[in-house]
Structure 1
């Protein structure tokens, strides 16, 4: 049975976004403690250096995967919503076939690039020579990172509860694996195998959820029937949209995995591990807002494609103000809980520079929270080029600044560089949003 929903009012969008947020938070309420527990167990099993190396090879795999992966979940929402609402099953299936095609191609490309880089560039990535073979082995996991279409399908069908469940899978497998390794006396090679298994099960679960929901909605029937008609028939501009959203995510990497790789390449795996732990805690404090941003996309697409731009901007401003105030209040408690949490994860008192880094990173998260609606607005209103320019310019400033800061102040230079980059990004995104908004008002 093919089910659809009618375009929402502003109140309806906020309520649905809130309900979806609660569904995601239900998963994160389990996932965040699981994530912190797996950090604690892994550092207990492997020590600072072993944990740092595991983070380095995982960040490398994620970086290659994200660079290669098209953000096809955005393509599914942007091009699939109207056909879903209009019950145009053949057109919606064409969008999904195109998106799955992107996932397959990006997965194969990522595997080839990941293996080549792991074999020939490991000396520049901070990998100890004695563990190089483990990094090469783990780079094969990059093929299991292409789950964007599954993500888009569940968002389109409003199944955020399944996204929440799936989000706990990888950490659950890692925690269970680390407990087993501690009990039997496993080592680094065993831990790498557990993390590889977690990546495989994570992708498999996501795909199974998505395909089952397509089956329930009658969208798998004759799914391959129109494959000879071309991937992009009646989908004008879909290639450009896919490339632009992919480039936008490529630039976003500079604030996540690429930062870890730069730190590991210059300061080594121990420093990379400390950065990862500080960043995980800062992100956990702002996690509800990151999840809220992900629920904004479908609501913004509904508003924009229903010719309700005022609804879109009003909803975005209301959610941003609420989120900004909430995050500001939450982060006020960070100084009181930071030391106990880091002691729990590191099994010792945190180095002073790591604690200072945590406060800087939390400040950067707060800045990004106040600009959380800017990127969804840019992409939803078709201004993907503005989103790319903002991220691109920011990255061109951030990476050299990060490199110089690390060389001069080591771990202590990362925080200020991240905060400055967060300010610049929000300013640029607001600039490009206002340009497009004024341009649309003049038409």
Structure 2
């Protein structure tokens, strides 16, 4: 079968499976390194120091994600077909557009990050004596925009390099923390190590991407067609880029923004405990999340080849497989949660933290059962439906989160997260069905 032949449904799943194994190979290395790094960091800094480190890192990630366009989706959506058709000038135009978005995002994130760190640190839960460290770390926000590099490696099917790159940041932090323990460093050194990890991770991602472009002959004459304009023969690319960016902005409510809200209301120690519980819950679902990322190119191939039945059948098969797998993992979690948290915290977790973990794991399970919905919305061009679903979810979740924390403390985060997960998949399914109904009416 040639490279441009549209694969069968079984072929798409096999390719996704191979790419998943590549990503999992990186995670198999990264997971124990990450747990060891967390344990050593808490040992070095204590609960409060680790919590503060998580707060300033979440702040940097939030600003970066808010500013960053999800250029990897743009690269796949607009670059896959011309790449398979060997239309190099059009592929280069897509990449130039995407790189420009990343550069503008980085500049905007840098300016906003510094201003927010200087003027709003008191609202972020940063202890006054460590405020200067938070301001210093906010400079790292410029190194959070690697979406185009990610998209290039996906486009060229180099998931093995994505797996390798995924271990770079964790390895850098681990080695840095080990050095600090040996020489007697403290929080200032840890902040510097985490900032260095961001820089090294960004640089490695960009290096991998540029080298692969060179190997495939996509860098030759890269700037020759710049006079033709950024978006020639790319209809709707600006709308697609803005919509995917807004969708990611809304999805932050389940990630860094939750950490920031907890830190601002309950303090850095609570933020650290939430971060650990959330990492364990996410680890349970990590293979599934990685599988979702490998499905995007296959869905794009199916849709652009006018094979919607292939797309929906693949989505259904994946949903059933991953849903059952994650449900089994959730049943095992109560038997391993306490030992894992004891290793990380160097003491037994509080009942409050343990309860929060189970709630967060339940939310992950709900999201896994709906994991195919958002890729379907984006792949089929219904990015507005994805945004509306996320937007409605956030409008309900954030007030609910604040009230839950006020009434029940950190334990209240769990039920709010589970309810929000149900709301999200409900509206995603609703907008998929609504779009399909409209198409049927148009045909009749």
Tell me the TM-score normalized by structure 1: 0.99
In 1, distance between residues paired with 2:438 and 2:33? 47
SS at structure 2 position matched to 1:22:
helix
SS at structure 2 position matched to 1:235:
coil
Deviation by residue 1:317-357 (Cα, 9 ceiling, x = unmatched): 00010000000111111000000000000001111100000
Q: Where does residue 274 of structure 2 map in the other structure?
A: 275
Q: Where does residue 162 of structure 1 map in the other structure?
A: 161
Deviation by residue 1:353-408 (Cα, 9 ceiling, x = unmatched): 00000000000000000000000000000000000000000000000000000011
SS at structure 2 position matched to 1:337:
helix
- 2:88 corresponds to 1:58: no
- 2:210 corresponds to 1:211: yes
SS at structure 2 position matched to 1:349:
coil
In 2, distance between residues paired with 1:401 and 1:5? 48
Offset at residue 439 of structure 1 (A): 2.1
Contact in 2 for aligned 1:320/1:373 (Cα 8 Å): yes
**Unaligned stretches of 5+ residues in structure 1:** none
Q: Where does residue 331 of structure 2 map in the other structure?
A: 332
Q: Where does residue 190 of structure 1 map in the other structure?
A: 189
Q: Where does residue 436 of structure 2 map in the other structure?
A: 437
- 2:2 corresponds to 1:9: no
Offset at residue 33 of structure 1 (A): 1.1
Q: Where does residue 385 of structure 1 map in the other structure?
A: 384
In 2, distance between residues paired with 1:202 and 1:438? 44
SS at structure 2 position matched to 1:211:
helix
SS at structure 1 position matched to 2:291:
helix
Q: Where does residue 201 of structure 2 map in the other structure?
A: 202
Tell me the TM-score normalized by structure 2: 0.99
In 2, distance between residues paired with 1:40 and 1:134? 22
In 1, distance between residues paired with 2:361 and 2:158? 30
Contact in 1 for aligned 2:4/2:85 (Cα 8 Å): no
Q: Where does residue 123 of structure 1 map in the other structure?
A: 122
Q: Where does residue 354 of structure 1 map in the other structure?
A: 353
Q: Where does residue 74 of structure 1 map in the other structure?
A: 73
Contact in 1 for aligned 2:359/2:414 (Cα 8 Å): yes
Offset at residue 5 of structure 1 (A): 3.8
In 2, distance between residues paired with 1:347 and 1:403? 30
Offset at residue 229 of structure 1 (A): 1.1
**Unaligned stretches of 5+ residues in structure 2:** none
Give 1:44-55 correspondences, 5 Å limit: 44-55=43-54
Offset at residue 4 of structure 1 (A): 4.3
In 2, distance between residues paired with 1:283 and 1:383? 27
Offset at residue 27 of structure 1 (A): 0.5
Closer, same or farther in 2 for the Cα pair 1:5/1:184, shift >3 Å? farther
Deviation by residue 1:240-263 (Cα, 9 ceiling, x = unmatched): 000000000000000000000000
Give 1:307-322 correspondences, 5 Å limit: 307-322=306-321
In 1, distance between residues paired with 2:56 and 2:346? 23
Q: Where does residue 426 of structure 1 map in the other structure?
A: 425
In 1, distance between residues paired with 2:266 and 2:40? 24
Offset at residue 164 of structure 1 (A): 0.5
In 2, distance between residues paired with 1:129 and 1:7? 58
Give 1:223-262 correspondences, 5 Å limit: 223-262=222-261
Contact in 2 for aligned 1:4/1:84 (Cα 8 Å): no
Give 1:82-121 correspondences, 5 Å limit: 82-121=81-120
SS at structure 1 position matched to 2:11:
helix
Q: Where does residue 40 of structure 2 map in the other structure?
A: 41
Contact in 1 for aligned 2:52/2:126 (Cα 8 Å): yes
Contact in 2 for aligned 1:72/1:152 (Cα 8 Å): yes
Contact in 2 for aligned 1:4/1:87 (Cα 8 Å): no
In 2, distance between residues paired with 1:43 and 1:439? 54
